[in-house]
Chains A and B, each alone.
Chain A
Amino acid sequence: QVHLQESGPGLVKSSEILSLTCSVSGGSLRSYYWSWIRQPPGKGLDWLGCIYYDGSTHYKPSLESRLTMSVDTSKNHFSLRLSSVTAADTAMYYCARGGDRWGSIDDWGQGTLVTVSS
């Protein structure tokens, strides 16, 4: 079981870029997909997208124009950038292992709350 830890600013201004990194320990990024999932306060889970260790990605179609994911196998971490944020992007952001068609999203980070302020 790997350990995932999200890091990044907890407060982002409206129209700016939200950037988060997920550090993975206890295992390699290789041979897995890695996902970002968010949960607005009091609401349900929302899958944003995933990235394979080779850099290939699947993004949620409605976010594709604002979303960029990247992976750094040398540092064993992967990252999320969401541009032009609004209050609707305020949420707990989780990173997790998995996200392809054939496997579970199993190990999750503890999550980090990102608030978008005007």
Chain B
Amino acid sequence: QSVLTQPPSASGTPGQRVIISCSGSKSNIGNNYVYWYQQFPGTAPKVLISKNNQRPSGVPDRFSGSKSGTSASLAISGLRSEDEADYYCAGWDDSLSGWVFGGGTKLTVL
């Protein structure tokens, strides 16, 4: 059972906008930054969104992050087939004094 809760799966058709949610608590999302990671099969995760809504260099602006209270969201607009991957939310948890990850959401592009 992950500390951060994500839907196990999401899907959309090319060009659509998809939103992946991440639910936490005051000790993690409510009081700290949220990060989003993208992982393709057989490869290491890559940071997609940093500090709630910042895109590292090289990340397309189709990806955006937001946070409200103890929940966060990753939005992917103009969905492409190459976006098919696993997505994880993550961040620091004050109660655990460490990082926690969501269980991951597998995105399928139909």
Chain A residues proximal to chain B, CB less than 8 Å? 35, 37, 44-47, 49-50, 58-61, 94, 99-102, 104-106, 108-111
Contacts and interface: CB of A to CB of B under 8 A. Distances in A.
A63 to B, nearest CB: 10
Interface in B52-93: 56, 88, 90, 92
A108 B33 CA distance: 19
A4 B74 CA distance: 27
Nearest to B100: A47
Interface of B: 2, 32-33, 35, 37, 43-47, 50-51, 56, 88, 90, 92, 94, 96-104
A110 B44 CA distance: 6
A8 to B, nearest CB: 16
A44 B44 contact: no
Contact of A45 (B88, B96, B97): B88
